[in-house]
Structure formats: structure tokens, C-alpha cells
């Protein structure tokens, strides 16, 4: 056969290594299964996501495929959350369990794929272990929202294995399995658009299907390899367009997003990621943005990247891993590198290294092995150094993991590392209010407004916190100001309604809730609040449909179920009221008055029975 591909057969020892990686990775991250939601997207993705929060259903699956939610079309992600709830019940435990297990599976699959390609058992173990245990993995594994990484990562690893299996002739159905796995991965995270480019790197080395890409006759060897991946490139193009159409600009910091400014930030951002890979210190969920990078840095950074690429190219025949590993890092990071991506909320994000870091691991492992082979006396020290690197990763990851246990701890940490971030201050304020430390939360909202004066979101959050402190007049003034600045946001009108209720101005509150629903007809909280005002005024029949809509949007909210039951009871419909109150008690067994209300309804239903 003309191709140089050799497939290495994995035996019991390789299976044992893959199993060991799975077990150790699971043990490392298992404490995360006891952690809470993080109030950065977690609630939007699961408890407040109506297609997910009710568990698995065919209606939910249909909605997952037909709905763009939070500016993403990621049906497989939403279905995975539904399955978690169906298997483990409501709450964060099941989601954390699945995240941990998926990442552990990915570690084993990566080792298996690398060994099938190279046959270098311990080098592949080092790459897979570094991938699995590096402290930068915390964000992808411990943050439920980032199920995107570990789920798409599983299909990515399976696609690598499928490519290894299909890389040897005969070419029948060569790319069918890869195409299907890539499609599944893209439905969990769109950054897998880089897969066909990475497969071409593997065709160069270690699969050796195309030979040297430079020289006479090289295109003749590479043309069929590119041609067979045309369906994959087409799939990438479709998902790039889909992401641009559905996601748009995610918003974030008020920064200069001119094309020239963004392009000159790309290379410095690559160096930021390299720095975090080699020195994973001061890790946090949000890093301070800095668009004031000097022009000297902006000029030297791309030059440095080109020099490294040139060196790798120069040594490509003797050390192809350098070129493949470096290009893997650059290509895999390209879709999310700052300057190309639109979201400027954070300077960079740990989770974006999930797949790109594999390329750096390859370079380190093969360079270490070459040192051992060249000089016999270095064999022991190099092995010790590799073991030390993995041990340090384990220790640092173990130390980093507790920072993810809840929103309060996470954003306290973030505020220490990024004290000038108004978004971090606002997020810490929300976490403090959620835990009952309202006055401290108010102080954080005020700091956020000092850093970014007049921001309507922060004004509204401050107003909601002041309302909890009984300062309804101040709360109303802040909500009015937020509405003046951004009149078409339903949340501000809903919050204004709550302030008006506290002031006893229920007719005005009703109008505020109705305006919120005009702007966002499916707003669950506005439906609930309007229903409550109507119920309190004696209009239970008018309140009922609003409570029903609220429950449909937030099926995990105990208070909404309870008040729906009370509305049914007020209309004498006890057979429908009882299941609602029971559901409320199942969600919150300590709910005040719910047990007494249940007993009364049971008695009244019995009396009403013929």
C-alpha cells in the first residue's frame, strides 16, 4: 500500500492505563458533585430553562432541535441536561456527576486514540494525563454550563478514533463515522468546526498518509486527503454561519471592538493562553479585560508566534511533532481566541484550552522522550520531571477545585483577582443577596456602578436588593431610571412592579407586570407576580392562567406550584389543587403553610365528594 499508516493494536496493558486514567480523573473531580450552581449562566441553562427543567420529554427534545436558546442552537446540550434531571432529579448533583464522568471518559479515549496512532504507550499516557489533570480543566468540568466542552469533547475523541480506524485502506465509508460524530459534537459546541483541519494534521503525522507537504508532487498526495474531508469542511461552514446568525454579539465590556483593534489582540491572547498552560496560577472564572495593550506587544507577539512556527517547520522532517503540536494549538484555539470571537467580557477563559492544550502536551511528551533516547543519563531525571509535572497538576487542580463550590466563593475569589471588573462586582452582589447578605450585596452593586456608571442592569439589581431592605421608594427610583435608559427590558418592568406592590400601589404594579409581559410574553416571573396581584385582589379565575404559564416556564419553582394550587382551591377545584401543592412540597419540604394548606384541601375535597 502507498500510505505509511500503521495502526497499533491496544492490549490489556493499554486498556488498564485507560481505565486508570478514568478512575484517577474521576477521583480528582468527584468533590465537584457536591457543588452548587454558579450564578453565571447555570440557572439560565437549567432551572430557568423551560425545555430542560421538567426533565426528559419528546416535546422537550423537539424544542431543543427547533429553538435557539440563549443565542445558541445546541440541541444535544439541552437534551443531556434533560437526561440528567430524569436520572438524578432536580438540583445540581446529577449535572456535576455527568460532567465529571464525561471528562474522565475523554481522558481514557484520548489515550486510546493517541496510542492507536503512535504506539508510544507512556508518551500517550503523559499527554492524556496532562489533558485530564491540568488546573485549567476546572472550568470545563466543575462549571455545569460548560457541559459544552466535555460533551463535545467526547465526540471529538470518538471522531479521532474513527479517523484512525478509517485511515487505512480500503477507503470504503472512510469518513461516514467521522462526519456523524462531528455533527453530534457540533450540536454540543460549535468550536468543533476545527476538526477537519486537525485531522489533516494527523494525516501528516503520526498517520503519515500525505508525506511532506512541501516539495514536488506533494499536492498530488494531499489532494485526496483534502477531498475526502470536503463534507467535514462543508459541515464546519454551515455551523460557522449558524453560530454567527444565532449568537451574534454576546455583549460584555464596553470596549473598542474595531476590526483593527481586535486583530492586533489575537497574537497577545495566544501568549496569554500559553502562559496559563505553563504557569496555571491565579485562575478564575473571569479575567480583567485589557484593550490598552501596548503597540510594541501587539507587534512582537505575532512575530514570536511566527518564529516558533518557523522553527517547527524547519524541523518538520526530523521532529514532526513540533509542527503538528504547535499548529494543533493555534488551530484549535482559533475559533475562540479574543479578537475573532465577539464576546469581550473576559480577556480569556480557561475552558477554551480544553482541546488546544493537547497539542502542547504532545510537544512536551515527545521532546522529553527524545531527551531520554539521546542521553542515557537523562533517562531517569526526565522520567522524574514528567512525573513531577503530573503531580503538580494534580495538587494544583485539587487546590483549585473548591473555588467552584458555589457562586459566593467563586466571585469572592474573582473579585480578589479582578477588583476593577464591574461584571464581577455585580455577580458577587447577586451571590451575596442570594445568601441573605443583602447589605453586602448592595455595596457590591454600588461598586459596580462606580466602575460603570448608569448601567441599567446594575441599577435594577441594586433596586431589587434595596427592596429586600425595605427601601421601596429608593428601589422604585432605581427601576424607573433603568427603564428610562433601556425601556424595552421586561425584567426592569417586572422589578418595578414588585417595588410598587411594596408601596401598596397595586394597580400601578399590575400595569407594570402587564407591560413586562407585553415586552416578553413568556416571562415566568412576571406571570407569577401578576397572578399573585390578581389572586390577592380576589380574582382567582383571572390569576389562574398566569400561574399556569409561570409553572410551565419554571417547573422547578416550589412557590409557583403552591400558588397555582391555592388558585385552584379558591375556585373549588381541589382535585387539581392537591397535586400542585404536593409538587411544591416535593420541591421544598420546608415551605411555610404548605403542609397545613394540603391538609385543609384534602378535608375540603372529602367534604365535597358525593
pLDDT in tens, 281-293: 999 888 876 655 6
At 53 the pLDDT is: 86
Query: Which own/partner pairs from 499-503 qualify as long-range (CB within 8 Å, at least 24 positions apart)?
Result: 499/463, 499/467, 499/472, 499/475, 500/476, 501/529, 501/533, 502/467, 502/470, 502/472, 502/475, 503/472, 503/473, 503/476
Give the residue extent of every domain in the chain.
12-36+92-404, 542-610
Fold of 542-610: 1.25.40
CB atoms < 10 A from the CB of 102, how many? 19
Rounded alpha-carbon distances, angstroms, from residue 43 to 143, 410, 431, 496, 581: 12, 15, 12, 22, 23
DSSP 3-state of 217: coil
pLDDT in tens, 346-370: 678 899 999 999 999 999 999 999 9
Work out the burial of residue 119: count CB atoms within 10 Å of its CB; fewer than 13 is exposed, 13-18 middle, 19 or more buried: middle
Handedness of CA 210, 216, 217, 222 (dihedral sign): positive
At 609 the pLDDT is: 55
Residues 6+ apart with CB under 8 A from 586: none
400 pLDDT tier (thresholds 50, 70, 90): very high
pLDDT in tens, 538-553: 999 999 999 999 998 8
Residues 6+ apart with CB under 8 A from 311: 322
50 pLDDT tier (thresholds 50, 70, 90): confident
**pTM of the entire predicted model:** 0.91
Give me 112's grid cell: 486510546
**506 in Cβ contact with 537 (< 8 Å):** yes
- Cα–Cα distance for residue pair 188/90, rounded to 1 Å: 21
At 251 the pLDDT is: 41
Please check the confidence at residue 250 and state whether its pLDDT lies above 50: no
Percent of the chain with pLDDT over 90: 72
At 339 the pLDDT is: 66
Give me 293's grid cell: 495593550
Amino acid at each position: 500500500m502507498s500510505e505509511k499508516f500503521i495502526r497499533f493494536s491496544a492490549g490489556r496493558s493499554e486498556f488498564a492505563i485507560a481505565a486508570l486514567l478514568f478512575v484517577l480523573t474521576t477521583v480528582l473531580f468527584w468533590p465537584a458533585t457536591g457543588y452548587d450552581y454558579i450564578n453565571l449562566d447555570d440557572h439560565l441553562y437549567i432551572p430557568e430553562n423551560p425545555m430542560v427543567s421538567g426533565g426528559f420529554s419528546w416535546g422537550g427534545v423537539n424544542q431543543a432541535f427547533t429553538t435557539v436558546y440563549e443565542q445558541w442552537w445546541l440541541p444535544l446540550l439541552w437534551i443531556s441536561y434533560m437526561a440528567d434531571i430524569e436520572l438524578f432529579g432536580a438540583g445540581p448533583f446529577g449535572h456535576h456527576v455527568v460532567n465529571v464522568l464525561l471528562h474522565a471518559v475523554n481522558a481514557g479515549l484520548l489515550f486510546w486514540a493517541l496510542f492507536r496512532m503512535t504506539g508510544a504507550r507512556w508518551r500517550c499516557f503523559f499527554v492524556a494525563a496532562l489533558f485530564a489533570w491540568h488546573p485549567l480543566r476546572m472550568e470545563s468540568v466543575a462549571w455545569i454550563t460548560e457541559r459544552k466542552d466535555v460533551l463535545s469533547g467526547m465526540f471529538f475523541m470518538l471522531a479521532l478514533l474513527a479517523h484512525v480506524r478509517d485511515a487505512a485502506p480500503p477507503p470504503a465509508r472512510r469518513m461516514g463515522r467521522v462526519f456523524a460524530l462531528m455533527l453530534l459534537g457540533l450540536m454540543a459546541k460549535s468550536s468543533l468546526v476545527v476538526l477537519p483541519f486537525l485531522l489533516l494534521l494527523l494525516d501528516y503525522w503520526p498517520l503519515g498518509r500525505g508525506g511532506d507537504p512541501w516539495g514536488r508532487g506533494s499536492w498530488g498526495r494531499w489532494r485526496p486527503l483534502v477531498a475526502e474531508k470536503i463534507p467535514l469542511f462543508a459541515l464546519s461552514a454551515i455551523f460557522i454561519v449558524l453560530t454567527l446568525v444565532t449568537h451574534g454579539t454576546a455583549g460584555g465590556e464596553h470596549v473598542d471592538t474595531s476590526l483593527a483593534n481586535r486583530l492586533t489582540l489575537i497574537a497577545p491572547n495566544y501568549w496569554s493562553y500559553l502562559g496559563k498552560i505553563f504557569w496555571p496560577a491565579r485562575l478564575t472564572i473571569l479575567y480583567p479585560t485589557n484593550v490598552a495593550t501596548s503597540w510594541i506587544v501587539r507587534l512582537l507577539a505575532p512575530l514570536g508566534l511566527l518564529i516558533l512556527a518557523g522553527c517547527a517547520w524547519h524541523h518538520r522532517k526530523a521532529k514532526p511533532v513540533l509542527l503538528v503540536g504547535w499548529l494543533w494549538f493555534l488551530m484549535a484555539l482559533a475559533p475562540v481566541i479574543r479578537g475573532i470571537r465577539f464576546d469581550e467580557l473576559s480577556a480569556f477563559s480557561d475552558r477554551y484550552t480544553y482541546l488546544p492544550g493537547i497539542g502542547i502536551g504532545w510537544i512536551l511528551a515527545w521532546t522529553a522522550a527524545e531527551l531520554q533516547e539521546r542521553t542515557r543519563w537523562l533517562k531517569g531525571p526526565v522520567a522524574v520531571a514528567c512525573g513531577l509535572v503530573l503531580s503538580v497538576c494534580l495538587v494544583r487542580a485539587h487546590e483549585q477545585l473548591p473555588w467552584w463550590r458555589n457562586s459566593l466563593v467563586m466571585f469572592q475569589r474573582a473579585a480578589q483577582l479582578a477588583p476593577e471588573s464591574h461584571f464581577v462586582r455585580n455577580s458577587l452582589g447577586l451571590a451575596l443577596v442570594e445568601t441573605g447578605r443583602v447589605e453586602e450585596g448592595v455595596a457590591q452593586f454600588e461598586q459596580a456602578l462606580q466602575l460603570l456608571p448608569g448601567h441599567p442592569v446594575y441599577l435594577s439589581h441594586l433596586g431589587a436588593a434595596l427592596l429586600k431592605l425595605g427601601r421601596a421608594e429608593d428601589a422604585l427610583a432605581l427601576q424607573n431610571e433603568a427603564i428610562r435608559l433601556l425601556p424595552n427590558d421586561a425584567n426592569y418592568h417586572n422589578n418595578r412592579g414588585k417595588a410598587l406592590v411594596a408601596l401598596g400601589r397595586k394597580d400601578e404594579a399590575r400595569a407594570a407586570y402587564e407591560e413586562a409581559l407585553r415586552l416578553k410574553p413568556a416571562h415566568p416571573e412576571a406571570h407569577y407576580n401578576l397572578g399573585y396581584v390578581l389572586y390577592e385582589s380576589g380574582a382567582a379565575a383571572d390569576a389562574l392562567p398566569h400561574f399556569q404559564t409561570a409553572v410551565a416556564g419554571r417547573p422547578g419553582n416550589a412557590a409557583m406550584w403552591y400558588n397555582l394550587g391555592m388558585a385552584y382551591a379558591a375556585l373549588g377545584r381541589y382535585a387539581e389543587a392537591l397535586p400542585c401543592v404536593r409538587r411544591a412540597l416535593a420541591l421544598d419540604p420546608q415551605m411555610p403553610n404548605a403542609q397545613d394548606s394540603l391538609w385543609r384541601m384534602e378535608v375540603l375535597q372529602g367534604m365535597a365528594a358525593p
